[in-house]
A and B are shown apart, each in its own frame.
Chain A
């Protein structure tokens, strides 16, 4: 099967290792992975900031980039949620795009959902020694229904022990441009997440969205916590070394 990999703009710019981990997981499972080199951004920043026209331009660009694929897989609940739940509304006033949108949303998957429910992965290459706790990022959870999939996959990682925090579904306070426009509120919300993570005593926080990762890791470090590692679920499953980690 031909699987298009959309790494997302944040992974591309900030932490390519996540993209390579996703690539490895898909290739190991026997997928033919196609990585369009023109890929940039799904348009979410514009969409959530009211710049509908800009978001439409980027959405139509994405529509054109994965035409030869059977599936489009994204290591982010937020960007896959953007395509699956918001492209139909975003492009509702572009009737000629309707068929393409339907085609794309039927093929779009969040990475762990795809690994667990389409590829039905039995084994994963990664190993880990220690405990981790998992944060359910909002869009993955509430738009894509990602909850049990990453946990089931992490359960297959030898040596890894999952210890749930008390409110894994609570928002971390990222919210895209919200984190910059209302940095004070965002950091305060994030403090509750940090407290929750630290209380588990886990060696690493694992999650599936880079935006939330940057937010929580940034706040943990500012609070002086240099110990708790913050890892993308793809990195853990693939057993790859994070950039700079």
Chain B
């Protein structure tokens, strides 16, 4: 996916002016937030489970090298072919080589975040392989020439009305308004592709080391069709996705689906272990797993390591007050919201995403809902420190902060300056004690808000006067 994080502010302006987006996002807030609360309440020891889940993920990350080798051994023993890709480009090339070797003309794809990272669809299409997205959300995105705005619900920024219009325009025929009917219409369009595709491409929610299994969590059944119907199946997965045992996966799933969609379990869980075996009723003839580094090892050795625990549930964005108002597009890459504000700078470079770590109130709502306890605000703060050190923040901001700290560390200077400051503020406030407009950076505050004026004297002055009396 093309990186557009530099245009964050312009994207925000567009988002805030879009009434459709506002409607779509208010639904998200209503549904996802209250839904999760109810779903999590079904577990009487949720906090304990979270803590254990964190440890399970941390243990796996600590033994990544060992677990990946174990996975490869077991997957190969079951007839899968395992490929290793260092960069997103390597991954694209490997998938294309697999397609070419198997004479694949058409591929169906179920959602893969790595595929978004590497721009896999476009790469394959440019090389002459037709690719069809089969996830309903991804299908809407594909049909409208759009980009995803959420990791679980890629078309969350579209209202039902917009989808009705889009389908009518793309499919012809009468305009449908019922969600079930719209879904059926998309299914009918997709069915021929399922039957004619030579290759299925999926991501993987987890790799299970002890059995060499890849698994995906879906609600639409399209994933299962992608893993079983075409004669070749390719699963792409980041190295951080591996877990030791099936037991670990089933444990983590209790949190994943509840945090993601407020379900105690998703509609489908598809486990793939090797290609079709003698006696199997379905399954692909060839099964490939492409394991991708794409910056993960670097993050593993950095102060952002905790972010690799992420199980891609989307709860942090659903609960983020910023995301709830601007949607996913301004973040400008595959991962929006709080986790995106950490992963985008980590994978694509801090200099390419200057706003992301800063565009957060640090309210820590994300940190308290994250099922694997990633301290997202702390990680954003770390990135802010690196920005400050590398002088990636504007000169005025850095100087302002330095001046503030310089004065605040010198009580006498501070007293003299603030005496003047608060009196000036009091004057600016006028009769109703509201400052309506401030110059410079202060304009960021007063453009859409008044500033209640200071009362005219500092607490320290008044306190000293009281002591004298």
Contacts and interface: CB of A to CB of B under 8 A. Distances in A.
Interface stretch (A153-161, A196-204, A218-226): A218-226
Interface string A175-217: 1111111111111111010000000000000000000011101
B447 A15 contact: no
B12 interface: yes
B322 A51 contact: no
A142 B321 contact: no
B281 interface: no
Interface string B438-459: 0001111101111111111111
A218 B398 CA distance: 26
Interface in B376-391: 378, 381, 383-389
B397 A49 contact: yes
Contact of B322 (A40, A179, A185): A185
A82 to B, nearest CB: 11
Of A13, A47, A169, the most chain B CB neighbours within 10 A belong to: A13
Contacts of B444: 179-183
Contacts of B425: 13-14
Nearest to B382: A50
A9 interface: yes
Contact of A50 (B16, B387, B418): B387
Contact of B411 (A38, A170, A179): A38
Given A12-B460, A58-B408, A183-B444, A142 B363 contact: yes
A8 B133 CA distance: 55
Contacts of A88: none
A94 to B, nearest CB: 15
Nearest to A11: B459
B13 A12 contact: no
A14 B414 CA distance: 15
Contacts of A222: 448-450
Interface stretch (B62-70, B99-107, B289-297, B353-361): B353-361
A20 B462 contact: yes
Interface residues of A, number: 70
A168 interface: no
A49 B384 contact: yes
Interface string A2-41: 0000010101111111011001000000000001011111
Contact of B459 (A20, A173, A189): A20
Contacts of B406: 54
Nearest to A167: B33
A184 B455 contact: no
A184 B447 contact: yes
A187 B446 CA distance: 10
Q: Which residue, B363, B398, B447, B453, has most C-beta atoms of chain A within 10 A?
A: B363
Contact of B409 (A58, A183, A214): A58
B184 interface: no
A57 interface: yes
Contacts of B409: 40, 57-58, 61
Contact of A190 (B386, B404, B433, B449): B449
B107 to A, nearest CB: 39
Contacts of B457: 16
A218 B445 contact: yes
Nearest to A40: B408
A175 B457 CA distance: 25
Contacts of A11: 459
B447 A138 contact: no
Contacts of B143: none
B452 A50 contact: no
B464 interface: yes
A-B residue pairs, 9 tightest by C-beta: A175-B361, A54-B405, A50-B388, A243-B455, A50-B384, A187-B448, A16-B459, A171-B363, A183-B444
25 contacts: A9-B408, A16-B457, A16-B462, A37-B463, A39-B460, A46-B405, A47-B381, A50-B385, A54-B406, A139-B364, A142-B367, A170-B321, A171-B365, A178-B361, A179-B444, A179-B445, A180-B441, A182-B12, A183-B445, A184-B16, A189-B325, A218-B449, A219-B448, A243-B455, A244-B433
Interface of A: 7, 9, 11-17, 19-20, 23, 35, 37-41, 43, 45-52, 54-55, 57-58, 61, 89, 138-139, 142-143, 169-171, 173-190, 192, 213-215, 217-219, 221-222, 230, 243-244
